[in-house]
């Protein structure tokens, strides 16, 4: 394979990488909460029933923000059902996923769990079956000082101190016909606008996230964003994007190239923001919250017992090919750090997740766990503009796909370079020319490579995990590295 050339200049730094890009998502869905976060009879459960092995795995993953409680679930959720004495909490049919919700885990448990897991809560309010009034009440429950009805309710149930939740999603995927309370763009924008306005009157320190399209393939995509941004511009801080990639057709070269469409999704919504901003002659900015992203297809068609409690739903078992796609999706989010300020891998445990548990039993780290963990731990500071001249391929769904996908960041005296090689057959020689970085030293490198694409991690063994990368050759003004075929890699260098 011809070599790829990466050129970086120390003066060409871009946006600060917001640490909330390394967020995730916990929905009352399948075994995410019950059997995942909360499993009171598990030997590793703490005094509140939270699995401490799961908390440790989430801390190691480097998760920063967790979105809760849905997802589709939130659009029919009565948050009051999930607070107060457990024995008085009602069991309800959960109509988004056709299960039974026991409400044994609710808002107060989530807040306490977030503290233990060291993550920031990101709450979603129900704008499907409910509206602005209930959203405001939940905000009062979470954030108001004692002395009013819902704040006193919280003080009695769990905590005198307000929780100070800053991030609030205004519903979930309200453009989707599957959503309880689905609305057209105008109706949704009116509802979201009045909810956001009421919530900010109560607590001006919060930030709100309006629903964008459920994915870029929706018929209403673009018109939806334009209308929502136009109506809600003054009251919201972010608009959401969601994307899941799959490979049911078994076309690996196209699957590995899918992150290109994530790039263009972000660019398109970014341009719409600029258009609305220009039309309004506004000084304000609205940013992107990519609050659901992942690979999702392995569990398609799996059956479960309807109306049962916490059945296994969406339990994708990820393979090595997914490691590469998830790595490239992360690169895409970081490359767009100027626009994307929050991102949530959907989801965190058991449901399309990097962490799997046996209810009452063991825990496993899926193949997708490791690129996320290493990126979250190492890639920080400012993203660097880059010039990548790279051999390319064509496939069924894309043309001119660069074999390498790179993202580079500088944080103080550290430079990180993350590289995915999409070539299934050949290593790619990478020549990096680094201008203005002073004396460059190699610190460390990790690679995930050398596996058959269908290799999976199980409760018994985790073959897909990082190992030290071959040390690049330092050239005086950069480095040369041979990037293994089908691989994810992260190199760290010291700079002056």
Contact flag: residue 405 with ligand AHR (CB under 6 A): no
Nearest residue to ligand AHR, by Cβ distance, number only = 71
25 to 64: interface string for ligand AHR, x by CB under 6 A: --x-------------------------------------
CB of 32 to ligand AHR, least distance (A): 9
* R_g of the chain, CA atoms, integer Å: 23
Give yes or no: 292 in active site: yes
Contact flag: residue 173 with ligand AHR (CB under 6 A): yes
Helix (H, G, I), strand (E, B) or coil at 448: strand
Give the nearer residue to ligand AHR in terms of CB position, either 140 or 175. Answer: 175
Q: Is the dihedral of CA 306, 309, 313, 317 positive or negative?
A: negative
CB of 173 to ligand AHR, least distance (A): 5
How far, in Å, CA of 148 to CA of 150, rounded? Answer: 6
In this chain, which stretch among 70-78, 187-195, 258-266, 457-465 interacts with ligand AHR, using CB under 6 A? 70-78
Q: Of residues 27, 80, 101, 173, which has the active-site annotation?
A: 173
- In our burial notation (b when 16+ CB lie closer than 10 A, e otherwise), range 77-116 reads bebbbbbbeeeebeebebebbebebbbbbbbbbbbbbbee
Kindly identify the residues of this chain, within the stretch 406-425, that bind ligand AHR according to CB under 6 A: none
CB of 230 to ligand AHR, least distance (A): 24
Helix (H, G, I), strand (E, B) or coil at 402: strand
Of the candidate residues 35, 61, 69, 72, the single one contacting ligand AHR (CB under 6 A) = 72
For residues 34 and 347, is the Cβ–Cβ distance under 8 A? no
In this chain, which stretch among 69-77, 219-227, 273-281, 443-451 interacts with ligand AHR, using CB under 6 A? 69-77
Distances in Å between the Cα of 272 and the Cα atoms of 239, 260, 278 are 11, 19, 10
Strands (E), 159-276: 167-170, 207-210, 238-245
For residues 310 and 34, is the Cβ–Cβ distance under 8 A? yes
Of the candidate residues 289, 331, 347, 350, the single one contacting ligand AHR (CB under 6 A) = 347
Q: Of residues 101, 292, 315, 473, which has the active-site annotation?
A: 292
Angle at 339 between CA 138 and CA 170, to 5 degrees: 20
Q: Which residue, among 393, 243, 392, has the nearest Cα to 330 in the 3D structure?
A: 243
Give yes or no: 173 in active site: yes
For residues 17 and 384, is the Cβ–Cβ distance under 8 A? no
Contact flag: residue 292 with ligand AHR (CB under 6 A): yes
Structure token digits, residue 145: 């000082």
How far, in Å, CA of 494 to CA of 444, rounded? Answer: 10
Of the candidate residues 346, 373, 374, 388, the single one contacting ligand AHR (CB under 6 A) = 346
How far, in Å, CA of 39 to CA of 286, rounded? Answer: 39
Of the candidate residues 99, 126, 172, 240, the single one contacting ligand AHR (CB under 6 A) = 172
Kindly identify the residues of this chain, within the stretch 79-118, that bind ligand AHR according to CB under 6 A: none
Give the nearer residue to ligand AHR in terms of CB position, either 255 or 293. Answer: 293
Of the candidate residues 23, 35, 70, 472, the single one contacting ligand AHR (CB under 6 A) = 70
Of the candidate residues 23, 49, 62, 71, the single one contacting ligand AHR (CB under 6 A) = 71
- Within the chain, what is the greatest distance between any pair of CA atoms? 69
CA 452 to chain centre: 26
CB of 194 to ligand AHR, least distance (A): 22
CB of 74 to ligand AHR, least distance (A): 8
Contact flag: residue 175 with ligand AHR (CB under 6 A): no
Distances in Å between the Cα of 213 and the Cα atoms of 77, 176, 241, 432 are 21, 8, 6, 38
For residues 170 and 69, is the Cβ–Cβ distance under 8 A? no
Give the nearer residue to ligand AHR in terms of CB position, either 172 or 375. Answer: 172
Structure token digits, residue 458: 């199980």
Contact flag: residue 484 with ligand AHR (CB under 6 A): no
Give the nearer residue to ligand AHR in terms of CB position, either 333 or 495. Answer: 333
In this chain, which stretch among 65-73, 103-111, 378-386, 396-404 interacts with ligand AHR, using CB under 6 A? 65-73
The residues that touch ligand AHR, with contacts defined as CB under 6 A, are: 27, 70-72, 172-173, 214, 292, 346-347
* Catalytic annotation, residues: 173, 292
């Amino acid at each position: 394979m011809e070599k790829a050339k990466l050129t970086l200049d120390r003066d060409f730094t871009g946006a600060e990488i917001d640490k909330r890009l390394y967020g995730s998502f916990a929905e009352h869905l399948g075994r995410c909460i019950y059997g995942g976060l909360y499993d009171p009879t598990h030997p590793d459960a703490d005094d509140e029933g939270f699995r401490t092995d799961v908390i440790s795995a989430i801390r190691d993953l480097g998760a920063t923000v967790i979105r809760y409680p849905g997802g589709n679930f939130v659009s029919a959720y009565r948050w009051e059902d999930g607070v107060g004495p457990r024995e008085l909490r009602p069991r309800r049919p959960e109509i988004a996923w056709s299960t039974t919700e026991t409400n044994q885990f609710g808002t107060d448990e989530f807040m306490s769990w977030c503290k233990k897991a060291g993550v920031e809560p990101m709450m979603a309010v129900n704008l499907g079956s409910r509206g602005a009034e209930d959203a405001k009440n939940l905000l009062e429950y979470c954030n108001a000082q004692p002395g009013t009805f819902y704040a006193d309710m919280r003080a009695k149930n769990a905590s005198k101190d307000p929780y100070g939740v800053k991030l609030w999603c205004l519903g979930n995927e309200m453009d989707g016909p599957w959503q309880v309370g689905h609305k057209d763009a105008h109706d949704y924008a009116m509802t979201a606008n009045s909810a956001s306005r009421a919530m900010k009157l109560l607590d001006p320190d919060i930030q709100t996230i309006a629903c964008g399209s459920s994915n870029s393939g929706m018929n209403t995509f673009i018109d939806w964003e334009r209308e929502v941004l136009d109506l809600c511009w003054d009251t919201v801080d972010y608009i959401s994007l969601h994307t899941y990639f799959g490979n049911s057709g078994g076309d690996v070269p196209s699957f590995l190239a899918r992150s290109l469409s994530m790039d263009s999704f972000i660019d398109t919504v970014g341009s719409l923001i600029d258009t609305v901003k220009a039309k309004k002659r506004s000084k304000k900015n609205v940013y992107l919250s990519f609050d659901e992203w992942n690979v999702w297809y392995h569990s398609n068609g799996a059956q479960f017992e309807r109306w049962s409690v916490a059945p296994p739903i969406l339990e994708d078992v990820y393979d090595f090919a997914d490691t590469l796609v998830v790595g490239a999706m992360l690169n895409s989010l970081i490359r767009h750090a100027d626009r994307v300020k929050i991102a949530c891998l959907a989801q965190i445990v058991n449901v399309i997740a990097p962490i799997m548990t046996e209810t009452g039993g063991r825990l496993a780290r899926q193949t997708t766990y490791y690129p996320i963990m290493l990126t979250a731990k190492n890639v920080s500071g400012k993203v660097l503009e880059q010039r990548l001249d790279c051999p390319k391929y064509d496939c069924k769904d894309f043309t001119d796909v660069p074999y390498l996908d790179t993202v580079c960041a500088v944080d103080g005296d550290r430079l990180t370079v993350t590289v995915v090689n999409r070539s299934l057959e050949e290593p790619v020689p990478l020549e990096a020319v680094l201008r203005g970085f002073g004396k460059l030293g190699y610190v460390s490198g990790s690679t995930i490579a050398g596996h058959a694409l269908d290799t999976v991690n199980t409760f018994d063994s985790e073959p897909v995990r990082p190992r030290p990368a071959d040390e690049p050759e330092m050239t005086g003004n950069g480095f040369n590295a041979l990037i293994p075929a089908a691989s994810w890699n992260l190199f760290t260098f010291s700079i002056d």
